[in-house]
Structure formats: structure tokens, C-alpha cells
Amino acid sequence: MKLIFDDKLTTSYKSASQKTRVLTEHWVDNSVYCPNCGYFRIDRYPNNQPVADFYCSNCREDYELKGKRNTIGTRIVDGAYRTMLERITSSNNPNLFLLSYDLMNLDVITFLVIPKHFFVPEIIEKRKPLAPTARRAGWVGCNIVLENIPQTGKVFFVRDRQIEPKEKVLAGWKKTLFLREEKGISAKGWLLDVMCCIDKLGKTEFTLGEIYAFASELSRLHPENKHIKDKLRQQLQFLRDKGYLDFVSRGCYRLV
């Protein structure tokens, strides 16, 4: 995988945004393999595809591409808020490629994929409606809040210009595929919230007591649940059964 853009592709374009689009899409089309099945390349859909930008001809996974200059940051600007919420629950919701790039050096800084099973309403932030004087007055957009996604939901191909081994990328993708079995948005949201709590502990081995410390935070997120600690134990059991965690000893867990 080469991280350099082909600047010869943009000689006929004057717009900076058009040049960036051509460079980034060409790089993904020619450099990126499918993280789901490992197929050596993905293909680009024709322009103006309603949802996705790329697909794998081998396993039929779809991918949308979002690019940002220099750093990806904590939020990604997306489209209409209501449309995004509807898309999350649809069968054709694509996985998300995120690419940060350096236009001075014409290279890739970071490239990762967020699998579609991490998309729940909790990671979608509603923006303020456009002002009455705007061309689309009242239109409401949204942001994807990356900090609300567990670390295992960010599978890096390239991190700070360093290419990750393909085996690591495929293993990272496979690790959370069990989330696709969860069809209920609420059930999936609970699992992701617990996974984020584990991330916040910042260590691979932890106790049930340490997870209980997040009970108040989770109670605010899920006010309808009056048995938070019972729910936490249930979620940890589920994550253990799916191979996400190991049971070390009574009340002690380890990330796999």
C-alpha cells in the first residue's frame, strides 16, 4: 500500500475540492482492500450513488468515504439528521471509511474504517437548523461523534503514516462482527455504551467494581432501566460469550 497521491490526475481541475475528491477517491479505489473478506481491492460505484461510494465485488460490503484535511478530529460532518437516523436502521447502511490527508505532501496521514454495526443514534449529533436567511432555511444536519464510538469500532489501515499489517486489520474487523446479530438498536446501544466504559478504564484487565463506577453515567443514558448493575453484569456476560472478553476470576475480566 503506497500512501502518496497521484497528482497527475488533477491537472484538468481548477477547483480545490474537485482535486481533493479525485485524489482521495482514486487512492482508495487503487490501494484499499476489503476489511471484511480481505479481497485485494474494492471498487468505486458510479458517481451520485445514493448511499455508498465503494463496494467489494467479492463479499458485497458497501463503504462510504469521508475525508478531512490534516486531522480527522472528534466529529465528522454528515447530511440530514432525520435521513441519517433512518439510514442507521436500514439494510443498506454502508460502513464508513475515514481518511485524513496532507495536501502539501500529497499523502495519506490516517485511514480507518468504522463498521456499520457501530452506528446507533447515540453517535449522531443533531446540528442547529439553518437560519431563515439561508437557501435551505430550517434544514437540520448532523455530525458523527467519533468519541462516542468504542476504540474497537475504529479499525486502522494507516495510523500517522504507518501502515498496519493486513492480518491485524482483518482481525480487528472480525472481532466485533457479533454486533451484527443484534438487530435491536437499544440492545446494541447498551453494548456499545459498556464497551466505551471499558475503554475509559484504559487497561486490559478490570474488575466488576470498576465497571459499576459507571452506573450513574449509564443511568442517565438509559433512564428507563432501573436495574443498572444487573444490566451491566448481563452485558459483560454477553461480551464474554462472544469472545470480546475473558473471564479471569470472580468479578475480574480481561479484554481479548
- Burial of 164 from C-beta contacts in 10 A (0-12 / 13-18 / 19+): middle
Stated as kind and residue range, the H or E segment containing 199 is helix 185-201
- Asked whether residue 35 is domain-assigned, the answer is no
Residue 209 lies in a domain: yes
What pLDDT does residue 165 have?
98
Say what the pLDDT of residue 47 is: 78
In terms of DSSP bridges, do strands 205-207 and 162-163 run parallel, antiparallel, or are they unpaired?
A: unpaired
Residue 192: predicted pLDDT: 96
Strands annotated E in the chain: 43-44, 54-55, 62-69, 75-80, 95-102, 107-114, 124-126, 141-145, 155-159, 162-163, 205-207, 245-249, 252-255
Tens of pLDDT along 39-80? 999 999 987 777 799 999 999 999 999 999 999 999 999 999
pLDDT on residue 246: 96
Residues of the chain with pLDDT under 70: none
187 part of a folded domain: yes
CA-nearest of 170, 142, 146 to 156 is 170
Average pLDDT, the chain: 94
Look at residue 7 in the predicted model and tell me its pLDDT: 87
User: How many structural domains is the chain composed of?
Assistant: 1
Within-domain flag for 253: yes
Residue 131 lies in a domain: no
Domain that holds residue 213: 182-256
Q: Does some domain include residue 25?
A: no
Residue 236 sits in a domain whose CATH number is 1.10.10.10
Q: What are 123-155's pLDDT values in tens digits?
A: 999 999 999 999 999 999 999 999 999 999 999
Burial of 79 (0-12, 13-18, 19+ CB in 10 A): exposed
**Predicted TM-score of the model (pTM):** 0.93
Lookup: cell for 32? 484499499
pLDDT given at position 51: 79
Judge whether 162 lies within some domain: no
Contact criterion met (CB below 8 Å) for 35 and 155: yes
Is 86 a member of any domain?
no
What pLDDT does 176 receive? 97
- Give the pLDDT confidence score for residue 88 in this predicted structure: 87
Query: Would you say 27 and 1 are in contact if contact means Cβ atoms under 8 Å apart?
Result: no
